[in-house]
Amino acid sequence: MPTSELQAWLTRAVAALLALVLLHLLRPRRRKVEVPFGGLWRRVLGSVEARSLGRRWQRLLSFLMFVAFLGLLLGAQLGDLLHPERVVRPRRQGSTVLLIDRSASMATRDGASEAGPVARLDEAKNRAAQWLDQLPPDEDVLLAVASGSFEVCAGWGSDRQAIHKALESVTASQGGMDLNRAVRSAAQMLQGRPGARLLVASDGGLPLQPLETAPVPLQWLWAGPLGAAGYDSKVPYVLANLAVEQAAIRAQADDPDRGVLTVQVRNDTGKNVRARLAIFAADTGETTGDLAKDRNLRRLVDVQLPAGATTVQVPDLELVDARFAVRVEPQHPDLIDLAHWDDWGLAVVAAQRRLKVLWVGDKNHYLDAALAATGRADVQRVAPADYHPEAWRAVDRARHGIDLVILDGVLAEAPDGLATWRLGLDLARDATQLAHNPEVLVRAADHPAMRGVSFQDTNFDAVRLLPIQSGQKVLAAASLGGGRSAAVMLASEVPVRQLTWGIDLRETDLVGRYALPILASNALAWLAGEDQPLLQPLELGRPWAVDAPLPTGSWQYREPGQPPRPARLSAGQFVGSSEAFGLHQWTHISGETVVRPTSLPPSERPTALLHQGEGVRDRPVQAASDTGNNWPIYMAYLVVVLFGLLLEWTAYLRRRTV
């Protein structure tokens, strides 16, 4: 007897034993009570006419009913355990085309898995391999891939090893996918074969056209941000995704007590969609979840969203509350937005926004006091020995929790993509020159970092003279006499904003002057980018085009984590695509710079009108949604059992005997 069959029998035996034990425990038992004179009781029973057959059996019948209900309930719950063949039902000999989407979007790495970002294609291949392992051995399988074209990788056969090998060799292409054409091609391959079935492993992101009715039973193996819950072919509505890309709140020029909420919304449905923006506001709360309460709802705005990205401005919002959350949702009830996690955006009035600051350096009471005086810095201090930029970059990417980094007297790299504020006298190994007791003058009073600041009568015991590099702006300089001066404070915006102070707060009486808290406040605000306009983010894994200020000339493109390379220009736009997360930067030879951040990993959604034909009924593995669909049945069982118990209790109260 095979081991699996033996295990099944053992399972049944254990279940039967448990049932017997349960019945034994639940059997009706009566306490024995000794009475002095049974005759009196018999007289009582005779007088109440309680010895009818129905009453005698009432108790036993109700007990049997209860056991039956309980058995049904347990049977429903344990059905899959006792009858695994119901989950993996042997199929008759059939033919399956396994169609793998190898379009460019399948190369996108999603961060949903615990092991880290996984390319959608790898996920699709893993699921397809699992499916293959579950298929009956006599099932004929054909492996095909599709992007721009339909290609067969492994022909009809039941040699699983060959299919697995071919599956391993599938790689993503650079093009998109015509799903309709691929399905039609697969259907042709299945024509005339018994038990025809088409299995599509895709992220469903492209194309945006409605999916035609498939000529063969079609089932999806989902590989994308939707996760394992997958795709129910019986759902008769359109799946779509609307997402809030970015949200910002600014005071209106004519009324500082009112603001304009600028919301950047993405519509992935490929068509115009009527949507609604729900705007919430509160004076506390750090997340959208904190704000998403009915009492915080401030306004509902109906908008028409064309396909792609749209910027919506909602004016005249009272700035009594500093924090605003906005949610986008489709208005049409048949339009289901499957990705709820990207429907929210959070905007905070700049002056009231708390900044998360990573401070690397030793204890510095002066800097500590200056940051505290700004009233908006949540500081996390890390000793230089414990600071590793790579680790903090990973934390930042996972949490998006740090706005800027302060490197106080530390010769270390800043995490990529984070604004940095360096200060101290040991700022760079090649900056060897120190100046003692110099006169320091503000050189860029109009710069946001220097507004309202003067160093008049401020003494500096020592300052570091900083070499000026390309793209850096001198904020303050030390007068060296003889008309010479050298930079002491620098600012740069490429690739991210950086402030560099050749000043040690322990070597100056600046700490005793009102200029320091102003400087600190300016520095935080500028580094946090609050004066920046909204930048159009780039979507990972998708082709994009960014307007180039100068259509001609030599542009260098710097992709995060990659060395600079010549930029690709087409019709006055930078074109390309990238999987790299961070700031993308184009630099012209003239110094002109264009910077675009990438958004969070996008959530491509199927926009196809769903197939209404016969679906594949037997799934190789039970999806999580299957369990959820059984709950109504379980609840019905529960209601029946409760009703039975209620009847039993009522009968108990009414009856005299059995």
Binding site for another protein (CB under 8 A): 28-45, 47-48, 50, 59, 652-653, 655-658
Q: Identify which of residues 25 and 253 has a Cβ nearer to another protein in the complex.
A: 25
Output 67 or 444, the one with its CB closest to another protein: 67
In whole angstroms, the minimum distance from the beta carbon of 41 to another protein comes to 6
Output the smallest distance, CB 59 to another protein, in A: 7
Q: Is the Cβ of residue 44 or residue 589 nearer to another protein in the bound state?
A: 44
Rounded Cα gap, residues 271 and 308, in angstroms: 9
Distance CA 577, CA 616 (A): 36
Q: Which is nearer to another protein, 47 or 552 (CB)?
A: 47
- Write down the least CB distance from residue 49 to another protein, Å: 11
- Min dist CB 329 to another protein, Å, is 57
Q: How far is the CB of 28 from another protein (least distance, A)?
A: 7
Q: Are 620 and 88 in contact (CB under 8 A)?
A: yes
- Which residues does residue 487 pair with via DSSP β-bridges, in sequence order? 466, 477
Residue 656 burial (C-beta neighbours within 10 Å; 0-12, 13-18, 19+): exposed
Q: From the CB of 649, what's the least distance to another protein, in Å?
A: 12
Closer by beta carbon to another protein, 48 or else 383: 48
Q: How far is the CB of 61 from another protein (least distance, A)?
A: 14
If the CB atoms of residues 451 and 655 are measured against another protein, the closer one turns out to be 655
402-to-2, 355, 357 alpha-carbon distances in Å: 58, 8, 6
38, two tokens: 């049974």
d(CA 135, CA 91): 8
DSSP letter at 496 equals S
Structure tokens, 72: 């049904």
3-state secondary structure of 83: coil
Give the residue with the Cβ less far from another protein, 57 or 631: 57
What is the nearest approach in angstroms of another protein to the Cβ of residue 652?
Answer: 7
Tokens 């490197």 -> residue: 407
Q: Rounded to whole angstroms, what are the CA distances from 294 to 276, 289, 301, 349? A: 16, 12, 16, 21
**Residue placing its CB nearer to another protein in the complex, 34 or 386:** 34
The string of DSSP codes covering 340-405 is GGGSEEEEE-GGG--EEEEEESS--HHHHHHHHHHT-EEEEEE-GGG--HHHHHHHHHHH----EE
